[in-house]
């Protein structure tokens, strides 16, 4: 196992040790866990270890890149039992004070391992508003709640969903996700009218994302004689990528809509676009939308849990009904026809993201919770 950072010999107090367990699928929950670990790197008073549950989609190159920056371990994901056994062994070596289990179903296997390894404090973080809770898995989650210090929803909408599932309101709190804002520090200096009057959706392809409604909205705009360029920046499920590409072909939009796949320069692309869209069926608190806001784009999101709490309609973004290509087309036409209005929305969105949705704010709130547990 990678050696944790050594504490300062001058400091007699033992450092707080936190283990973050999350999927190795590099979803939004993985990004949050990475940023929470990165926020403590190099500190003497707190050490963090990231443990990824290996999946078929886990990219070894991305793992190696991460290991150059932070402490990272992999555990097998081919069976739940194998995951738990490997994580128990890691806990017995690393001896964390707190185990933070991010996302479904990792929060089940992570907490089982923490219980077996006798980790003093367990935390469950829910990263989505709609998860695959069968009756059996919900019973497990409720049983594990007895041994769980905190249950964290990544947005107020997610917290309300957790309360609806009858989790203990005294343990269930909200800590909003945050992003690393350094890449967007100079967004206000990027002149909005010099950006491309184009649309970008920086999102992976998955069941919960709704690229097809955006494609249908672009087809409606084309019928009105409005033909903006559209970029899909993100990899993901090949089945959903193929479905989107077939629809683009059927609607004869190949010349307008471009599929970039995985992008390692999303901030640069956002800063070059006027409009950022997140069309979705459900969310927790989408980092892609936060990035669009931080970049100063005029943002449009679907009015579902996890998005509607983030955007104040017609103040710092636009909200449209789920599945409504016509509403989305109308919102996009409004922004494309009035760049001044779009620029105003983008400026307000940028200010909101930098005020409320930075990693520093998120990490500080998590650390406050950690310190309360171990005092």
If asked whether residues 281 and 206 sit together in one domain, one would say yes
CATH assignment at residue 99: 3.40.50.2000
Looking at the structure, tell me whether residues 161 and 50 fall in a common domain: yes
Does residue 24 lie within any of the structural domains? Answer: yes
Q: Within this chain, do residues 369 and 332 fall inside the same structural domain, yes or no?
A: no
Q: For the chain, what is the domain count?
A: 2
Range of the domain at 302: 181-356
Write out pLDDT tens, residues 105-124: 999 999 999 999 999 999 99
Residue 191: inside a domain, yes or no?
yes
> Tens digits of per-residue pLDDT, 15-44?
999 999 999 988 889 999 999 999 999 999
Residue 6 has pLDDT above 60, yes or no: no
Cα atoms in the 13 Å half-sphere on the side-chain side of 221: 28
Q: Which of 21-25, 95-99, 183-187 has the lowest mean pLDDT?
A: 183-187
Q: Are residues 192 and 151 in the same domain?
A: no
Query: Could you tell me if 364 and 345 lie in one domain?
Result: no
278-288 pLDDT, tens digit each? 999 999 999 99
Based on the domain organization, do 186 and 112 belong to the same domain? no
Q: Are 49 and 37 in contact (CB under 8 A)?
A: yes
Express each pLDDT in 220-266 by its tens digit.
999 999 999 999 999 999 999 999 999 999 999 999 999 999 998 99
Q: What is the mean pLDDT of the chain?
A: 94
Note whether 22 and 159 are same-domain residues: yes
Structure token digits, residue 201: 């959706």
Please say if the pLDDT value at position 169 is more than 90. Answer: yes
Q: What is the DSSP letter of 330?
A: H
For 42-62, the pLDDT digits (tens) are 999 999 999 999 998 899 999
> What pLDDT score was predicted for residue 27?
87
User: Which DSSP string corresponds to 302-357?
Assistant: ESSTTTTTT--BTTTBEEE-TT-HHHHHHHHHHHHH-HHHHHHHHHHHHHHHHHHS
Distance, in Å, from the CA atom of 337 to the CA atom of 326, rounded to the nearest integer, reads: 16
Residue 168 lies in a domain: yes
For residue 1, pLDDT beyond 70: no
Q: Answer yes or no: do 91 and 193 share one domain.
A: no
Rounded to 5 degrees, what angle do the CA atoms 270, 272, 274 make? 80
**In this structure, are 257 and 368 located in the same domain?**
no
Q: Kindly state whether residues 348 and 363 are assigned to the same domain.
A: no
Q: Indicate if 132 and 276 belong to the same structural domain.
A: no
Residue 1 belongs to some domain of the structure = no
Residues 109 and 214 reside in one and the same domain: no
Which residues 6+ apart lie within 8 Å of 227 measured at CB?
221, 256
């Amino acid at each position: 196992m990678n050696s944790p950072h050594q504490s300062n010999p001058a400091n007699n107090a033992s450092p707080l040790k936190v283990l973050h367990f999350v999927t190795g699928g590099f979803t939004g929950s993985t990004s949050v866990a990475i940023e929470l670990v990165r926020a403590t790197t190099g500190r003497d008073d707190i050490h963090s270890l990231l443990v990824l549950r290996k999946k078929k989609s886990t990219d070894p190159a991305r793992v190696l890149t991460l290991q150059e920056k932070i402490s990272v371990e992999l555990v097998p994901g081919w069976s739940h039992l194998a995951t738990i056994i490997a994580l128990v062994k890691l806990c017995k070596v690393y001896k964390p004070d707190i185990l933070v289990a991010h996302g479904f179903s990792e929060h089940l296997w992570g907490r089982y391992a923490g219980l077996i390894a006798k980790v003093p404090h367990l935390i469950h973080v829910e990263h989505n508003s709609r998860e695959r809770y069968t009756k059996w898995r919900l019973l497990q989650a409720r049983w594990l709640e007895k041994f769980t210090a905190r249950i964290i929803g990544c947005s107020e909408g997610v917290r309300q969903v957790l309360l609806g599932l009858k989790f203990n309101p005294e343990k269930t709190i909200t800590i909003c996700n945050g992003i690393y804002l350094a890449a967007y520090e100079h967004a206000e200096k990027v002149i909005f009218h010099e950006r491309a009057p184009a649309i970008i959706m920086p999102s992976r392809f998955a069941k919960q994302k709704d690229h097809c409604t955006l494609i249908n909205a672009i087809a409606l705009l084309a019928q009105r004689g409005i033909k903006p360029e559209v970029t899909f920046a993100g990899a993901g499920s090949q089945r959903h990528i193929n479905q989107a590409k077939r629809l683009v072909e059927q609607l004869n939009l190949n010349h307008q809509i471009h599929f970039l796949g995985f992008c390692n320069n999303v901030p640069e692309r956002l800063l070059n676009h006027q409009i950022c869209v997140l069309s979705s069926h459900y969310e927790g608190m989408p980092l892609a939308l936060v990035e669009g806001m931080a970049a100063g784009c005029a943002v449009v999101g679907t009015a579902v849990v996890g998005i509607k709490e983030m955007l104040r309609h017609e103040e710092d973004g636009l909200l449209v009904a789920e599945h409504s290509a016509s509403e989305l087309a109308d919102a996009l036409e409004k922004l494309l026809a009035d760049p001044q209005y779009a620029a105003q929305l983008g400026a307000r969105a940028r200010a909101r993201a930098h005020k409320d949705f930075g990693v520093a704010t998120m990490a500080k709130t998590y650390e406050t919770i950690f310190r309360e547990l171990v005092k």
